[in-house]
Amino acid sequence: MVSAALELAGFFLGLLGLLGSLVSTVLPYWENTAHVGSNIVTASGTVKGLWMECVTQSTGAFQCETFNSILALSSDLQASRALMVVSLVLSTLGLAIAVLGMQCTVCLEESAEVKKRVAGVAGCFFLAAGFMTLVPVSWTTNKVIQNFYNPNLPATLKFDLGDCLYLGIISALLSIMGGVMLSASFCEGQEGGGGPGRWHGGGYPYPAGGLPATRNTTNLQMGGMNVNSRGQTLVPTGNGSLGTVHGKPVAAGYDVTGYV
């Protein structure tokens, strides 16, 4: 069975991934002004994010302005917004579901199989959230690098990679790692094994308490003898009654399973 420590590690990695993705989504440090060319670096600079653009004045003042019109934004920025928001929602759902499915919690204790599957579902949510965070971060990183090395683009329009891009990549990897650890519960559910109610050694399944407490004692008529299901043979005696012979039932050179 997947250890509780592994599930806890996956839970906390997913939590760290959620916090990192939240910070990356809110803060505007996705693109920083690149000071390139022969000009001396000035004190002012511009940073851009998913929701706002901020400017640092030469006096040290920091002023931000949100993007007012959604329709005026580029398609890649709109897609990045949507993916990051969906990633946050999936991570939050994954945390809530993981609390129900982890072994260290008291929820769903009546069914170990259901508990494992719930933990695996939480891992799938973390995996999806990690990939959704990785897509817009990688997309923006590729765009910034291409624009930086574009010779036809003026130096004033070139940007460097912001801190939120690095944080987004790390957060996505943490969410994916946490999802893999929690999803290991699905792999364990496919293994045969020593849990209660499972089939043991290819035999018939019995409940956790072992063999059934009672058995039917249906009698089988074979020749001139009665054989019950407990392996006892009832044979006629001299006084007209039936006697019991313990052991394997035998009749006319044959037993119940075949030749003697």
Residues 6+ apart with CB under 8 A from 204: none
Give the global pTM. 0.68
In the sheet with 250-251, reading across from the earlier edge strand, the strands are 250-251, 254-255, 258-259
**CA–CA dist 135, 93 (Å, integer):** 20
Indicate the number of domains in the chain: 2
Do 152 and 254 lie in one domain? The reply is no
Flag whether 71 is in a domain: yes
Let me know: does 25 contact 18? Beta carbons within 8 Å. no
Flag whether 203 is in a domain: no
The position carrying tokens 């030749």 is 259
What dihedral do alpha carbons 136, 138, 141, 147 form, nearest 10°? Answer: -90
pLDDT at 199: 36
| Interstrand relation of 45-48 and 52-56 (parallel, antiparallel or unpaired) | antiparallel
pLDDT at 88: 96
Q: How would you write the pLDDT of the chain (260 residues) with one tens digit per residue?
A: 567 888 899 999 999 999 999 999 999 999 988 765 554 445 467 899 999 989 887 777 788 888 888 888 888 899 999 999 999 999 999 999 999 888 888 877 777 788 888 989 999 999 999 999 999 999 999 999 998 888 888 877 888 999 999 999 999 999 999 999 998 887 764 444 444 434 333 333 444 444 444 444 444 444 444 545 444 545 555 555 555 544 444 444 444 454 44
Do 154 and 250 lie in one domain? The reply is no
Token pair of 52 as six digits: 């706002």
Do 57 and 121 lie in one domain? The reply is yes
pLDDT at 240: 54
pLDDT at 12: 95
Token pair of 236 as six digits: 């006629």
The pair phi, psi for residue 158, each rounded to 5°, is -95, 145
Token pair of 157 as six digits: 């329009």
- The vertex-226 CA angle with 222 and 231, nearest 5°, equals 100
Do 16 and 144 lie in one domain? The reply is yes
Let me know: does 86 contact 146? Beta carbons within 8 Å. no
**Domain range spanning residue 29?**
4-189
In the sheet with 232-236, reading across from the earlier edge strand, the strands are 219-222, 225-228, 232-236, 242-246
Do 47 and 88 lie in one domain? The reply is yes
What CATH number does residue 131 fall under?
Answer: 1.20.140.150
DSSP percent split of the chain into helix, strand, coil, nearest 5? 45, 15, 40
Of 189, 210, 244, the domain-final residue: 189
Do 154 and 236 lie in one domain? The reply is no
pLDDT at 232: 52
Flag whether 196 is in a domain: no
Flag whether 109 is in a domain: yes
Measured CA to CA in angstroms, residue 19 lies from 15, 86, 170, 176 at distances of: 6, 14, 11, 14
pLDDT at 23: 95
Do 83 and 39 lie in one domain? The reply is yes
pLDDT at 138: 94
DSSP secondary structure letters along 104-153: TS-TTTT-HHHHHHHHHHHHHHHHHHHHHHHHHHHHHHHHHHHHHT-TTS
Let me know: does 120 contact 179? Beta carbons within 8 Å. no
Flag whether 208 is in a domain: no
Do 104 and 224 lie in one domain? The reply is no
Do 41 and 137 lie in one domain? The reply is yes
Do 161 and 230 lie in one domain? The reply is no
Flag whether 224 is in a domain: yes
**CA–CA dist 255, 20 (Å, integer):** 73
- Distance separating the N- and C-terminal Cα atoms of the chain: 45
pLDDT at 36: 59
Do 69 and 139 lie in one domain? The reply is yes
The pair phi, psi for residue 249, each rounded to 5°, is -70, 130
**CA–CA dist 151, 154 (Å, integer):** 8
Flag whether 195 is in a domain: no
Flag whether 201 is in a domain: no
Do 125 and 253 lie in one domain? The reply is no
